[in-house]
């Protein structure tokens, strides 16, 4: 029995497919299949039921897979302890980030991490919260930047910042003339939401329960539309299809700048390409401001504490406009 064989059975149990399990382990399917067959013969038990359409784990196999996962985590801990003896920050840090944070935090975060800890490259992955929690549990990633709330999975949690939401409306919409907005005023509008599976959709519906009705038909009229990403939703807003809420870090800097004063147009200026007009107006909330709490989560068994601290420092070195830092 080897750690490699244990890694193979954990991968197949997770993927429910020998081909996908082999791909996750970066080996050929015959190599993985032969290794698992050898392990089954050694243990004299059947770990998987092999059907034409799917692979299922036997009841005894489930117990063995759980124990195998624990053994692999302990082996990783041994490697991490050895690394810490030399340099706690040496080696890559596998970081997961949810889709509604990654595009707006990662560019600055990567620059800060390279400047502060060049010996600790970040291996990045974007995904849904549920998937990142599973990968944390199985040891595929070391830590993740998530937004609360999410199921308690006995992870270590470090709060990073509270991020307010802003309303995004078409620039030619009557609400665009306002300096701020209330949730009550948005009730009459067509709401654009992210599709099911995105935690930001749940966050919006949780902090603004009145929007829940937009996700179903009202009096036979569809009152909401769904998009696959925040940037897709923004394009839908720009096209006049409705309004939405966005996290503060996703708002472009130039969208919040006051209008530039009129200037005499010189000959040189007249030759420049004119700026494109802004098609979206971003409005802060009046009164109660809906927010989300962004946190850093990692397995309690993860022993590179200095790496976690260095990552937090890199995050706080980012600009993070408009958020409330929780350091």
| The last residue of a domain, from among 33, 67, 86 | 86
- Please, are residues 194 and 201 in contact by the beta-carbon 8 Å criterion? yes
| Calpha distance 224→175 (Å, rounded) | 18
What integer pLDDT is reported at residue 175 of this predicted model?
87
Co-location of 200 and 285 in the same domain: yes
pLDDT mean across residues, the chain: 83
| The last residue of a domain, from among 45, 67, 86 | 86
Co-location of 285 and 190 in the same domain: yes
Q: What angle do CA 233, 197, 181 make, to 5 degrees?
A: 40
- Please, are residues 162 and 203 in contact by the beta-carbon 8 Å criterion? no
What integer pLDDT is reported at residue 323 of this predicted model?
95
Residues 6 or more apart in contact with residue 211 via CB below 8 angstroms: 183, 186, 191, 193, 204, 205
Token pair for 126: 């974007």
| Calpha distance 97→74 (Å, rounded) | 24
CATH number at residue 52: 1.10.10.10
Greater pLDDT, 131 or 187: 131
Token pair for 17: 């497919």
| Calpha distance 229→195 (Å, rounded) | 8
Co-location of 287 and 189 in the same domain: yes
> Considering its fold, how many domains does the chain have in total?
2
Using the structure block, give the residue that is written with the tokens 């970081």.
Answer: 95
CA dihedral 150, 151, 154, 157 (to 10 degrees): 10
| Calpha distance 286→185 (Å, rounded) | 11
What integer pLDDT is reported at residue 266 of this predicted model?
43
| Calpha distance 93→120 (Å, rounded) | 6
| Calpha distance 321→314 (Å, rounded) | 15
Q: pTM for this one?
A: 0.70
Q: How does DSSP classify residue 297?
A: E
Domain membership flag for residue 169 = yes
| Calpha distance 27→19 (Å, rounded) | 9
Within 10 A of 137 (CB to CB), how many other CB atoms are there? 15
Nearest-CA neighbor of 201 among 166, 229, 222? 229
Q: Is the pLDDT of residue 221 over 50?
A: no
| Calpha distance 139→145 (Å, rounded) | 15
| Calpha distance 96→126 (Å, rounded) | 6
What pLDDT band is residue 193 in, cutting at 50, 70 and 90? confident
| Calpha distance 191→241 (Å, rounded) | 9
DSSP 182-241: -HHHHTTSPEEEEPTT-HHHHHHHHH-GGGGGGGSEETTEE-EEEESSHHHHHHHHHTTS
Domain membership flag for residue 154 = no
Co-location of 167 and 285 in the same domain: yes
Domain membership flag for residue 221 = yes
Co-location of 193 and 285 in the same domain: yes
Exposure on the CB side of residue 269, measured as CA atoms within 13 A: 6
Q: Is the pLDDT of residue 126 over 50?
A: yes
Domain membership flag for residue 36 = yes
Co-location of 190 and 285 in the same domain: yes
The Cα diameter of the chain in Å comes to 86
Co-location of 68 and 167 in the same domain: no
With a pLDDT cut of 70, the percent of the chain lying above it is 84
Could you give phi then psi for residue 281, rounded to 5 degrees? -110, 130
Domain membership flag for residue 320 = no
Domain membership flag for residue 108 = no
What integer pLDDT is reported at residue 117 of this predicted model?
94
Domain membership flag for residue 14 = yes
CATH number at residue 233: 3.40.190.10
Range of the domain at 176: 162-251+278-291
Q: What is the pLDDT of residues 41-81, one digit of tens each?
A: 999 999 988 877 778 889 998 999 999 998 998 888 788 77
What pLDDT band is residue 272 in, cutting at 50, 70 and 90? very low
Could you give phi then psi for residue 198, rounded to 5 degrees? -85, 125
Co-location of 286 and 168 in the same domain: yes
| Calpha distance 304→83 (Å, rounded) | 9
What pLDDT band is residue 208 in, cutting at 50, 70 and 90? low
- Please, are residues 165 and 245 in contact by the beta-carbon 8 Å criterion? yes
Co-location of 178 and 282 in the same domain: yes
Identify the weakest region by mean pLDDT among 41-45, 143-147, 199-203, 267-271.
Answer: 267-271
What integer pLDDT is reported at residue 206 of this predicted model?
67
């Amino acid at each position: 029995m080897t750690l490699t064989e244990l890694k193979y059975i954990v991968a197949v149990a997770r993927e429910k497919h020998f081909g996908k399990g082999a791909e996750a382990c970066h080996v050929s399917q015959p190599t993985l299949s032969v290794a698992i067959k050898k392990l089954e013969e050694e243990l004299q038990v059947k770990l998987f039921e092999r059907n034409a359409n799917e692979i299922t784990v036997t009841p005894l196999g489930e117990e063995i897979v759980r124990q195998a996962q624990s053994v692999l985590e302990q082996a990783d801990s041994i490697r991490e302890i050895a690394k810490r003896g030399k340099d706690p920050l040496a080696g890559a840090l596998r970081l997961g980030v949810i889709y509604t944070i990654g595009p707006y935090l990662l560019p600055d975060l990567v620059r800060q991490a390279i400047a502060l800890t060049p010996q600790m490259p970040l291996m990045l992955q974007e995904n849904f919260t549920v998937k990142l929690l599973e990968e944390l549990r199985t040891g595929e990633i070391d830590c993740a930047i998530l937004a609360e709330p999410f199921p308690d999975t006995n992870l270590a949690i470090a709060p990073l910042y509270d991020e307010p939401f802003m309303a995004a409306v078409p620039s030619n919409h009557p609400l665009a003339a306002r300096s701020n907005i209330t949730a009550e005023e948005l009730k009459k509008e067509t709401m654009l939401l992210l599709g099911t599976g995105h935690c930001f959709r749940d966050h919006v519906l949780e902090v603004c329960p009145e929007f829940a009705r937009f996700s179903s038909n009202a009096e036979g009229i569809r009152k909401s539309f769904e998009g696959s990403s925040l940037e897709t939703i923004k394009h839908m807003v720009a096209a006049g299809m409705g309004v939405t809420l966005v996290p503060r870090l996703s708002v472009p800097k130039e969208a919040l700048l006051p209008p530039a004063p009129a200037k005499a147009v010189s000959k040189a200026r007249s030759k420049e390409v004119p700026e494109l007009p802004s098609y979206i107006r971003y409005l802060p909330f009046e009164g109660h401001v809906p927010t989300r709490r962004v946190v850093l989560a990692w397995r309690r068994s993860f022993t590179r504490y200095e790496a976690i601290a260095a990552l937090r420092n890199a995050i706080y070195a980012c600009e993070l406009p408009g958020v409330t830092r929780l350091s």
